[in-house]
Each structure stands twice: as structure tokens, then as C-alpha cells.
């Protein structure tokens, strides 16, 4: 009925008419405006903050600085919401001005004078790990942390995840060939088109009303309660449509500032809104990485051992960076069957803007490291690069690096993805051809996989209510950030209730007081968790409809079916009662009423998740592994090293395609983001670790006209416990793209390209033989 159809998203017409509203679109008269004062230094002691001139600006109502604020952070509480005593990254907030208008707040912010004493700034994880490196967090040992976080005091290591699987000695002994490679890239950014925004108002009755452009409205509630001692029930968060997030709006930052600002003006409503520059560096960014991979394989191409070191540039504060580093460790080998694995994944402090989750959550980072090593291994073994991957592809019966046994439900069919990719790419025809003296075309491939590593007790709830015409409202805590998940939920409910999807309405906005919680809109888990909850809610509604209909139709509930807007007798559909006649109570001809509002309730909680063992990493961090095989075809100009990305391929096992056009859009959009990141996105730092390009003029993503031809196909191996078998797919298109691009360009240029982004100058330098030290 609705599943498998390209149903147009519910909010489509609002979006094409400019009527869709995002957080910054809601204005209230009398609302106050905040402006952030940020640090021009990457590492410095704050000697004094002089706000005298700022206070004199008309309309300024409050100026907030960092004294007396609790430390924040989701795994390790190391971050003051406003810098206190020290600034640790360029762009860190040192004061917040609250004024009647944004212009007044701006004028005042410009007049705040801060005296800094610069400190040496650390720019890479390896620098941070040196013996004599300055400590970015001198008090690391005293920070509150959760149970499974292991900071190393008196170092710049916020956390270390260890993966120890199998027996490394045996693995190396069984290997005939060993390759070692290193990769690296600096932090970059999500650059969602909508910059972050939050408002806060505290009412006299104690209610704290927050509105936020966020992936985590429910986490905002939890954290404000935890950090500031407020009652969770008093905190209500409203999240409307969000203009892109890609992981960057999962952390909680501006919301805390808005809350503090409101507190400073006796609870009046205050809005904090990021300029692009602030959104890029003040708010958290896409993590950087230095990695070393060592692979051992037999002569006929079976990988026996993998030794991996991830040094993540988590930036100045650990917040979600620790979880990203953990997620990369969990899937460190890539989707390959490797029995002996040693991995240390460190979340390292540097004086860079701090990291947020970035679409893929550690997996495109992990893939880049492993897939470059695989190409190197293939070259050393003189084996076809596709063959090598196919031979070692992970399958049901194998285990993941954290020793989770895989079966046909919890892992997709990678061999099938690889087989189809090979066909689509015409891999056997050629992999590298010289078109003329200057032009070379080449292909590069990469596998991709991912499980989510969200909290083991993450859950999702859905409520269904009925309208007087029998149509249904779906109320879910999933945020519509662009993934189209809200429309998918409508499709799932329509399918279950056997009704027209146009009669299923979806509440787009989130209001944490009335919308059931969905843990966070992250991890490509929206469809899975909220979908399960929606199915449960639909079942619940069906049970209630049948119970009432059983009375009216004088038949056992077991003999009844719900569909087409009716509750009817299965063996004689002519005996029925319309849903709209019972959805709000049924009135007998004599006036008696029975039943009442049908309210369908459903929830889903992840099952059987366990934390990782501290020493071995063994544990079950996620419910399933989505796999895919990706590739690119490029054309390199060997004279000037410019290149074109001609084609980009992805074959992903998505379990069940719920909405074909939406799924394609998600995957192609993710692929584009991966190619953009790999080809040209990075923060550029000066020698004081200040960001030189915090604008879209100097940090330039792919534009219209630079896009390649996209060829995307899906394999459908159902995940048995997922709604209609569907696996999540929001992130996966991105994961293999950077590696595939680097593999293709390395082949074309005949020089290993292990650093991102892949600028023509980079390729030129490698060809010249310039040494780029990553460690």
C-alpha cells in the first residue's frame, strides 16, 4: 500500500513556498537577543574581562561570564559552557551579551575587552601526545565522568578504547605479507545551511521553555536538569523543522547559553543564534584523525591480522568526541573477516574547536584508514583490489571487532553488494586508462559499514490519535532534520492500518511535554526505533478498535480485521463499522455511547546492548550492521593535477526500501557530502592554531555543476526485527566515498594519497616527493 512507494514528504509544500518554519524564524516582540563574545586565541589564560564599555550600550540587559558555572560534557565533564580561567580553542565563548536587539548586542560585544595571556597551542594529536606537550586539561583527573570513560590524567588523552580480539602473535605468524600505512586529516565542518539557534524562557511558575534547532530535544532536557539541578519535568523543549544537522546538532551547547541568558534577565525570553563563523568554529565540528594501520595477509589474500591506531583530534573538549572515537574502534576493521585485531582508539585533546558527531559517526574516518591500507595490500600481493575485498568480506557466522556474532538478520549481504558494484562499475573492463598524454581515468572502491553506538537503553515512543474523519495523527519524537523519517513513519502506519497514506498526518514539530521521547535523531536509527514504536502503536490502536467493534458487530475480536477505514468481519467484509464512527467513542442509535478516544501507544527499546569491556572491547554496541560497497570514477589531468569526479557508485544493503526516491536522495546526498569532504573540506589553521577559513567563502563545499553522475542501487536482505525489514541508511552513502576517491586518485596519479582533502596542490606535492609528516 504505502511501503515501497515514493510518497512525497508530508511537509514538501511548506518547504517550497517559504512557509516552513525553523527555530530562528519564530520571533516574539519583547524577546531579547544574545551575542557571543569569543576568543581570538586557541590557547590562552584569561587575565581580565572588561565589560564597562559594553554595559554602557543602550539596550544591554545582562552580560554573563564563566564564573561559577558547572562543567559540562556527555561522557566526561570537562567543558565550561562559557570559558573560565582559560580558553582552549579559537572561537570559544568567553562572554554572552543580552540586549533588546541584535544590533545592540553586537555593538556591546564589540566593546568587551578581554586580556589574554597566550599559551602554546597544540595542533595535532601526535603533538598532544609528546612527552613535553602542554596539558590542555590540567585537572583531567578530577572531572566527573561516566562509568565507561577512561581519561588518562596528566596527559592529553580524554579516553582510550581498546579492541583486543583473537591472538596477534598467531595472526602475524600466519601472515606472509605485511603492509603499514598512515592517514590523516584535520577537523572540518558540517556546515548545515541552517546555523544553530536556541531560545530560552523561564516562567514564574518554574517552567523552563527552550526552543532549539537540535537533533536531541530530549537530551537537552536531561542535561539542563543534570548540569543545573533543574527538575526535568519543568523543562520543555520545542524543536520545529531543522535545516540540516548531520550530527552537528546532536551536542547541547547553545541551549545551555540560552538558559543562562534567560536566568540573567529574570527569565525573559532570550534567543541565541549563530552567525556562520560561530556555527563553524564556536559550535562543535567534524573530528580530525591521524591513524596508522598495519595489515597482515597470506599470499593468497586472506587477511590474518590488523593492528590499528586511531588518534582522533577531538579538539579542546571531549563532549561527543569520545563516543565518536569509541564508535570507530567498534568497527575498526571495516566490514572484513579478520580474526586477530588489536586497536587502540584515542580521543586526544588539542587546541582545535571541539568535535561533534559527523554523519557516519567515526565510520568514514575508520574506512579511510582501512581502505587505503587494503589498496596498498592488494598492490603488494599483486591481487585485484576488488578481489581482495570480496575474499575477506564479512558474512553471517563471522564476528565483529567487539566479538558480536553476525547472522543474516543483523548484517547485510556485503558479497552481494560487492558483486553488484563490480557489474555497475564495469570493474573488469578497466581500472586505469591513459586517455592521452595528460588525461588518466581511474576507478577506486571502498566498502562501508556501520552500526550505531547509542546508549544501550535508548528508546523511542509513538502515539497515534484519530480525527473525526477516521484519519490518524502520528506523534513521534523523531526530529525532521531532512531525512524524511517523519514521512516514512506515516507510510509504516498507513501500511499497518491498511489505510491511504494521505489520511495519515504527522506532527512535524517536537514538544517534549507532549511528544513521546525518541532518544536522539541520530545514528540512522530513526526508521528502526521509531518505526518499531509506530508499529507497536498501530497494533495497540488496532486492538482497541477491534475491542469496541467486537461489541458493536457482536463478533469476537479475533474474527475482525482493520483496513480501508473500516473494522470488518474477516469472512464477511460486508459486516463492518467505519473507523471514524468508533475512533472517538461509538454512539448507539438510542444515544448510549461506549468506548472513547482510541489512543495508540507504542514504544521500542534497544535490546541486548552491552557496554564494551575495558580491556578487550568485547560487547554489543549496536543492533545491526548495514553494509555497502562504493566506488568512484575520476579523470585526472596529469599536467596540472586538477581532476573531475565523473561517476560515484553505491550499492547498499538497506534491508527493505521503504521509499525509493527518499532513500536515493539520502544516499546521494551523503555521497556528495563524503566527496565534498574528501576533495576540499578542511579547516586551515595558522601556526597559533587559529582557524583561517571560518566562512563559506573560504571553506567551499561542492556546488551545483560539480556533481558527478550518481549510480545507486539497493540490495534487500531484511533485518528481521526491523519495520518491514528496513535498515537505516541516512549515513552510509558517505562512509566509503573519501576512501574510494583517494584510492582512485592514488591509482591515477601513481602515488599514495593518504591525506585529506585531495586538493590538486596536494597531489602535486606528493608527486614532487614532498614529505608530509603526519606523525
Partner 1 sequence: MEASTKCEMQLLVNGETKSVVARQADTLLFVLRNELGLTGAKPGCLNGDCGACTVLVDGIPIKSCMMLAIETVGKAITTSEGLHNTAIQRAFVEHFAFQCGYCTPGFIMNAFALIERHPDADDSIIQEWLESNICRCTSYKEIEAAVKTVLANHPSIPNDDHF
Partner 2 sequence: MIPFEITYHRPRSIAEAVRLFDTLQQQGKKPLYYGGGTEIITLSRLHLVAADAVIDIKHIPECRALESNPHELVLGAALPLAALEEADPFPLLTKAASEVADRTARNQITLGGNICGQFFYRETVLPFLLSDSQAVIAGKDGVRQCSIHDVFQRHIRLKPGQFLVQMKVDRSYASLPHFHRKRRKQGKVGYPLVTAAAIKKDGQIRVALSGMCPFPFRSTEVEERLNARHLSLHDRIAGAIQALPRPILNDIEGSAAYRLFVLEQMFFDIIEELGGE
Beta-bridge partners for 93: 38
DSSP string, 348-408: EE-SSPPEE--TTTTHHHHHHHHHHHHHHHHHHHT--HHHHHHHHB--BTBB-TT-PBP-T
Q: Which stretch binds partner 1 (CB under 8 A): 434-442, 543-551, 606-614, 692-700?
A: 692-700
The span of 294-302, 372-380, 637-645, 652-660 binding partner 2 (CB under 8 A) equals 637-645
**Of these, 276, 498, 507, 765, which contacts partner 1 (CB under 8 A)?**
276
Contacts of 110 (CB under 8 A, 6+ apart): none
Figure out which of the listed residues 698, 709, 720, 750 binds partner 2, where binding follows CB under 8 A: 698
Residues 697-716 that bind partner 1 (CB under 8 A): 697, 701-707, 710
Number of residues forming the site for partner 1 (CB under 8 A): 58
- Minimum distance from CB of 96 to partner 1 (Å)? 20
Residue 487: what are its φ and ψ, rounded to 5°? -70, -40
> Binds 753, which of partner 2, partner 1, none (CB < 5 to 8 A, cut-off by type)?
none
Closer to partner 2 at the Cβ: 388 or 763? 763
For 724, the grid coordinates are 518491514
What would the x/- binding string for partner 1 be over residues 469 to 498, using CB under 8 A? ------------xxxx--------------
**Taking CB within 5 to 8 Å according to partner kind, which of partner 1, partner 2, none is near residue 22?**
partner 1
Each residue of 509-539: b (16+ CB within 10 Å) or e?
ebbbeebbbbbbbbbbbbbbbbbbbbbbbbe
Q: Which does 195 bind (CB under 5 to 8 A by kind): partner 1, partner 2, none?
A: partner 1
Subset of 101-130 contacting partner 2 (CB under 8 A): 102-103, 106-107, 110
Of 761, 769, 771, 773, the one binding partner 2 by CB under 8 A: 761
Give residue for cell 526485527: 721
Q: Which of 125, 171, 243, 622 binds partner 1 (CB under 8 A)?
A: 243
Nearest to partner 1 of 416, 696 (CB atom): 696
**Cβ neighbourhood burial of 195 (10 Å; 0-12, 13-18, 19+):** buried
Cis geometry, peptide bond prior to residue 314 (ω within 30 degrees of 0): no
Q: 288, 669, 728, 738: which one contacts partner 1 (CB under 8 A)?
A: 669
> For residues 141 and 151, what is the distance between their CA atoms, to the nearest angstrom?
7
- Residue found under cell 612527552: 131
Q: What's the distance, CA 294 to chain centroid?
A: 28
Considering beta carbons, is residue 241 or 347 the nearer one to partner 1? 241
Kindly state whether residue 15 participates in binding partner 1, applying the rule CB under 8 A.
Answer: yes
Q: Residues near 170 by Cβ (< 8 Å), separated by ≥ 6?
A: 340
> Measuring CA to CA, which residue among 537, 481, 591, 524 is closest to residue 215?
481
* Residue 679 in the binding site for partner 2 (CB under 8 A): yes
- Tell me: does residue 634 bind partner 1 (CB under 8 A): no
- Tell which residue, 202, 89, 178, 143, has the closest CA to residue 688: 89
Cα separation, 74 vs 72, in Å, equals 7
Q: Which helix (H) or strand (E) holds 314?
A: strand 303-315
List the single partner that 232 binds among partner 2, partner 1, none, CB under 5 to 8 Å by kind: none
* Residue 679 interacting partner from partner 2, partner 1, none (CB closer than 5 to 8 Å by kind): partner 2
Using CB distances below 5 to 8 A depending on partner kind, what does residue 483 bind out of partner 1, partner 2, none?
partner 1
Phi, psi of 237 (to 5 degrees): -115, 135
| Closest C-alpha among 131, 95, 126 to residue 110 | 95
- The CB-of-98 to partner 2 minimum distance in angstroms stands at 16
- What cell numbers appear for 321 in the block? 568526541
Taking CB under 8 A as the binding criterion, the range among 252-260, 574-582, 693-701, 760-768 that sits at the site for partner 1 is 693-701
Within 244-273, the residues that bind partner 1 by CB under 8 A are 244-246
Among positions 159, 680, 690, 732, the unique one binding partner 2 when judged by CB under 8 A: 680
Distance CA(381)–CA(304), nearest Å, equals 14
Q: Does 8 bind partner 1 (CB under 8 A)?
A: yes
- From the list 361-369, 495-503, 607-615, 753-761, the region that binds partner 2 by CB under 8 A is 753-761
52 makes contact with partner 1 (CB under 8 A): no
Check binding of 242 to partner 1 (CB under 8 A).
yes
CA separation, residue 434 to residues 40, 217, 375, 449 (Å): 49, 53, 20, 32
Site residues, partner 1 (CB under 8 A): 6, 8-9, 11-22, 24-25, 27, 58, 103, 191-195, 241-246, 275-276, 481-484, 661-662, 664-666, 668-669, 671-673, 695-697, 701-707, 710
Site residues, partner 2 (CB under 8 A): 102-103, 106-107, 110, 639-640, 642, 679-680, 684, 692-693, 697-698, 700, 702-703, 705-706, 757, 759-761, 764-765
Amino acid at each position: 500500500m504505502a511501503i515501497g512507494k515514493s510518497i512525497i514528504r508530508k511537509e514538501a509544500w511548506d518547504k517550497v513556498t517559504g512557509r516552513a518554519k525553523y527555530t530562528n524564524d519564530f520571533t516574539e516582540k519583547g524577546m531579547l537577543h544574545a551575542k557571543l563574545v569569543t576568543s581570538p586565541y586557541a590557547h590562552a589564560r584569561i587575565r581580565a574581562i572588561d565589560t564597562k564599555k559594553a554595559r554602557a550600550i543602550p539596550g544591554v540587559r545582562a552580560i554573563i561570564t564563566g564564573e561559577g558555572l558547572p562543567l559540562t560534557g556527555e561522557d566526561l565533564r570537562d567543558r565550561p559552557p562559557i570559558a573560565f580561567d582559560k580558553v582552549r580553542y579559537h572561537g570559544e565563548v568567553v562572554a554572552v551579551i543580552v540586549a533588546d536587539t541584535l544590533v545592540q548586542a553586537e555593538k556591546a560585544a564589540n566593546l568587551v575587552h578581554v586580556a589574554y595571556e597566550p599559551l602554546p597551542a597544540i595542533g595535532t594529536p601526535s603533538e598532544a601526545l609528546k612527552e613535553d606537550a602542554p596539558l590542555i586539561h590540567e585537572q583531567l583527573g578530577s572531572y566527573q565522568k561516566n562509568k565507561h570513560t577512561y581519561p588518562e590524567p596528566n596527559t592529553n588523552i580524554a579516553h582510550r578504547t581498546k579492541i583486543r580480539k583473537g591472538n596477534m602473535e598467531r595472526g602475524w605468524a600466519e601472515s606472509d605479507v605485511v603492509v603499514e600505512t598512515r592517514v590523516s586529516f584535520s577537523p572540518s565542518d558540517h556546515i548545515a545551511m541552517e546555523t544553530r539557534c536556541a531560545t530560552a524562557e523561564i516562567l514564574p511558575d518554574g517552567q523552563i521553555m527552550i526552543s532549539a534547532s537540535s537533533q536531541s530535544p530530549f537530551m537537552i532536557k536531561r542535561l539542563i536538569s543534570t548540569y543545573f539541578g533543574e527538575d526535568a519535568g519543568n523543562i520543555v523543549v520545542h524543536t520545529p523543522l531543522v535545516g540540516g544537522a548531520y550530527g552537528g546538532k546532536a551536542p547541547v551547547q547553545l541551549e545551555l547559553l540560552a538558559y543562562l541568558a534567560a536566568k540573567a534577565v529574570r527569565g525573559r525570553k532570550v534567543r541565541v543564534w549563530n552567525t556562520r563563523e560561530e556555527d563553524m568554529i564556536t559550535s562543535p565540528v567534524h573530528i580530525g584523525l591521524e591513524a596508522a594501520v598495519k595489515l597482515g595477509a597470506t599470499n593468497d589474500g586472506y587477511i590474518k591480522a590488523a593492528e590499528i591506531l586511531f588518534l582522533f583530534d577531538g579538539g579542546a573538549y571531549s563532549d561527543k568526541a569520545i563516543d565518536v572515537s569509541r564508535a570507530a574502534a567498534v568497527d575498526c576493521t571495516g566490514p572484513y573477516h579478520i580474526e586477530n585485531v588489536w586497536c587502540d582508539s584515542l580521543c586526544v585533546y588539542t587546541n582545535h574547536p571541539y568535535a561533534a558527531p559527523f554523519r557516519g559517526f567515526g565510520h568514514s574516518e575508520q574506512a579511510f584508514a582501512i581502505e587505503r591500507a587494503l589498496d596498498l595490500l592488494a598492490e603488494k600481493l599483486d591481487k585485484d583490489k576488488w578481489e581482495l575485498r570480496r575474499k575477506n568480506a564479512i558474512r553471517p557466522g563471522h564476528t565483529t571487532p567487539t566479538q558480536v556474532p553476525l547472522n543474516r538478520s543483523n548484517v547485510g549481504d556485503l558479497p552481494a553488494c560487492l558483486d553488484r558494484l563490480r557489474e555497475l562499475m564495469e570493474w573488469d573492463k578497466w581500472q586505469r586508462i591513459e586517455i592521452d598524454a595528460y588525461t588518466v581515468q581511474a576507478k577506486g572502491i571502498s566498502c562501508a559499514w556501520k552500526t550505531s553506538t547509542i546508549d544501550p537503553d535508548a528508546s523511542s515512543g509513538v502515539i497515534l490519535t484519530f480525527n473525526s474523519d477516521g484519519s490518524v495523527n502520528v506523534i513521534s519524537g523523531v526530529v525532521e532534520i531532512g531525512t524524511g523519517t517523519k514521512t516514512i513513519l506515516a507510510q509504516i502506519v498507513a501500511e499497518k492500518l491498511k489505510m491511504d497514506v494521505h489520511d495519515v498526518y504527522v506532527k512535524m514539530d517536537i514538544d517534549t511535554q507532549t511528544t513521546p521521547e525518541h532518544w536522539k535523531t541520530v545514528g540512522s536509527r530513526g526508521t528502526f526505533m521509531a518505526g518499531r514504536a509506530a508499529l507497536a502503536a498501530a497494533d495497540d490502536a488496532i486492538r482497541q478498535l477491534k475491542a469496541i467493534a467486537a461489541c458493536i458487530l457482536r463478533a469476537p475480536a479475533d474474527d475482525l480485521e482493520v483496513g480501508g477505514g473500516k473494522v470488518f468481519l474477516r469472512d464477511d467484509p460486508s459486516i463492518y463499522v467505519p473507523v471514524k464512527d468508533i475512533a472517538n467513542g461509538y454512539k448507539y442509535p438510542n444515544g448510549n455511547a461506549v468506548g472513547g478516544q482510541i489512543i495508540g501507544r507504542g514504544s521500542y527499546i534497544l535490546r541486548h546492548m552491552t557496554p564494551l569491556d575495558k580491556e578487550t572491547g568485547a560487547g554489543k554496541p549496536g543492533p545491526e550492521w548495514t553494509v555497502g560497497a562504493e566506488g568512484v570514477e575520476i579523470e585526472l589531468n596529469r599536467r596540472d593535477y586538477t581532476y573531475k569526479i565523473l561517476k560515484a557508485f553505491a550499492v547498499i544493503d538497506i534491508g527493505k526500501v521503504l521509499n525509493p526516491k527518499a532513500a536515493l536522495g539520502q544516499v546521494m546526498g551523503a555521497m556528495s557530502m563524503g566527496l565534498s569532504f574528501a576533495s576540499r573540506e578542511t579547516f586551515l589553521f595558522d601556526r597559533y592554531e587559529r582557524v583561517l577559513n571560518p566562512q563559506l567563502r573560504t571553506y567551499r563545499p561542492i556546488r551545483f555543476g560539480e556533481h558527478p553522475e550518481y549510480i545507486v542501487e539497493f540490495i534487500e536482505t531484511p533485518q528481521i526485527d526491523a519495520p518491514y525489514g528496513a535498515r537505516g541508511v541516512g549515513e552510509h552513502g558517505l562512509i566509503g566515498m573519501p576512501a574510494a576517491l583517494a584510492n582512485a586518485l592514488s591509482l591515477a596519479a601513481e602515488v599514495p594519497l593518504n591525506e585529506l582533502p585531495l586538493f590538486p596542490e596536494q597531489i602535486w606535492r606528493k608527486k614532487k616527493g614532498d614529505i608530509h609528516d603526519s606523525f
